[in-house]
Amino acid sequence: MIKSLKRRESELANAEKQLELLSNGIFAQGELPTFKESIHKSGHFPLKPKSLEILQINVGYMCNQVCKHCHVDAGPDRKEIMAKEIMSQCLEILKNTSAHTLDLTGGAPEMNPNFRWFVEEASKIGVRDIIVRSNLTIMRANKKYYDLPAFFKEHNIHVVSSMPHWTRGKTDKQRGEGVFDQSIKALKALNKIGYGLKDSPLKLDLVYNPSGAFLPGDQASMELDFKKALMEDFGIQFHNLFALTNLPISRFLDYLLASENYEDYMYNLVEAFNPAAVENVMCTNTISVSWDGYLYDCDFNQMLHLPVNGKVKHVSEYNEAILQNREIVISQHCYGCTAGAGSSCQGSVA
């Protein structure tokens, strides 16, 4: 199993180093326009938030998998975990704002010891949509997780699962040996209790992201291919497929540089820049919270240590009015969310 960039003491574990790479070279030399220049030209600068709909919370970077492209640099060697106190402050935000969706991510969010308590409390206060971004294999990793599908069902959790391809080879190459088989078992367990079935209220969506230095294809076509293959090969059903673009940060940036694909990939992203996608990028209706309670415009800015603009920086001092007036923080990685049909944690945006 590969180690996280942090454990390897890679210079790319340093957010400043990543930002430096993204700002210099082809962008500083003027070969490519910066993201700010592009959205300025399309009339979208400065990027401002709409009303808050989604509170996305990263409850920790600990994970049982070490995916090659992971923008969180998560893995078993990461120990950052959100404390119960921070979770309580997040619940207050959910009670007092227009946010109707709680989006829990990680690492493997299920590995946070307070995960179930948090879900139960959020369920009690009536959050409309509680999303858990599950890597699937966690449900098979240890006996203490075997009942997760039942727990999800009990709280009507919306399960959004990572699945880079319908074939073993491509999946295991990106996410680790044996991940495909364990993911199939987990999907079957979810189907068995009603998740993902046609007309079932138990929502099961899959997330596809390319296994390499290329952009995702058309989301609707990919969904048809995934559905056909998973049904024919394993009898598995699911609702929607979200096709996400890999953003050039963290381990994916490390891969791009090591494989000498970085410049070509940035050219592809910039060439595919779609002004229409800018209007619906996730940072406009989402606040991202880190394990230690700091506020970001999105999960990617969180990993680059680019906190929200303005006075309010932490859940303990959350102020909706001040945050609504902020300017969203951008850099070159934002081209990843505006390429082609656009990309966010909810899939295509244009």
Partner 1 sequence: MQKTYYDPADLKNFGKISDWNSSLGEKFFDYYNSVFKEGALSAREKSLIALAVAHTIQCPYCIDAYTGDGLQRGITKEEMMEALHVAGAIRGGASLVHGVQMMSKVNKLEM
The distance of closest approach from Cβ of residue 168 to partner 1 in the complex, given in angstroms and rounded to an integer, is 10
Residue 217 in contact with partner 1, rule: CB under 8 A = yes
Candidates 98, 142, 156, 221; binder of partner 1 (CB under 8 A) is: 221
Q: Is 208 in the site for partner 1 (CB under 8 A)?
A: yes
Q: Does 170 bind partner 1 (CB under 8 A)?
A: yes
Q: Residue 54 forms beta bridges with which residues?
A: 101, 286
Tokens for 154? 């009990």
Q: Which stretch binds partner 1 (CB under 8 A): 37-45, 207-215, 299-307, 327-335?
A: 207-215
Numbers of helices and strands, H then E, in the chain: 14, 8
Phi, psi dihedral angles at 169 (to 5 degrees): -60, -50
* Cβ–Cβ < 8 Å for 241, 226: yes
User: What is the biggest distance separating any 2 CA atoms in the chain, rounded to whole angstroms?
Assistant: 56
Using the minimum distance from each CB to partner 1, give the nearer residue, 71 or 165. 165
**Site membership for partner 1, residue 222 (CB under 8 A):** yes
Minimum distance, C-beta of residue 164 to partner 1, in the bound complex (Å): 9
Number of Cβ within a 10 Å radius of residue 319: 11
Binding letters toward partner 1, positions 268-287, x by CB under 8 A: ---x----------------
Identity of the residue, 226 or 291, whose beta carbon is nearer to partner 1 in the bound complex: 226
How far apart CA 286 and CA 324 sit, in angstroms, is 11
Should residue 210 be labelled a site residue for partner 1 when binding is judged by CB under 8 A? Answer: yes
Q: What sign does the dihedral 226-231-235-240 (CA atoms) show?
A: positive
In this complex, which beta carbon is closest to partner 1, that of residue 125 or of residue 224? 224
Cis check: omega of the bond before 76, within 30 degrees of 0: no
Q: Which residues bind partner 1 (CB under 8 A)?
A: 165-167, 169-170, 208, 210, 212, 214-218, 221-222, 225-226, 267, 271
